Amino acid sequence: MQDPNTEYQNPLLQQEDYFKGYNESVETHKNSPAVIEFEKLVYELFEMNPQGKRFLELAIERFVIPRRSQAGTPSFAMDLLWEDGYKSPFREIRNAIRSHQNRILAGK
């Protein structure tokens, strides 16, 4: 008879970790020299350089914030896909800056 104070663990009922592969991939790539080099370069161009910083502010204000697609148009779904791709590089630049700032704060 099983001790009532111990919890029975059936390996077939264990919940699958759907993020396991994703998390392993993130851990593998986050300290990649190519990623670090890119983030550092983006940080120096768009955060440390006053012209680069101003350019990114204007680009986000002009290209990322405004909506380009109009609801109700026949091509609305395709317009949304185009718009997301259009804005994506500016978001990636902003994310690279934040990532490098976090590396600096972490002392790496």
pLDDT in tens, 77-102: 998 889 888 899 999 999 999 999 99
Q: Is the pLDDT of residue 18 over 90?
A: no
Q: Which residues contact 52 (CB under 8 A, 6 or more apart)?
A: 45, 46
Domain locations along the chain: 33-106
Per-residue pLDDT reduced to its tens digit, 26-67: 777 777 888 899 999 999 999 999 999 999 999 999 988 888
| pTM greater than the 0.85 cutoff | no
Rounded alpha-carbon distances, angstroms, from residue 9 to 2, 13, 20: 12, 8, 20
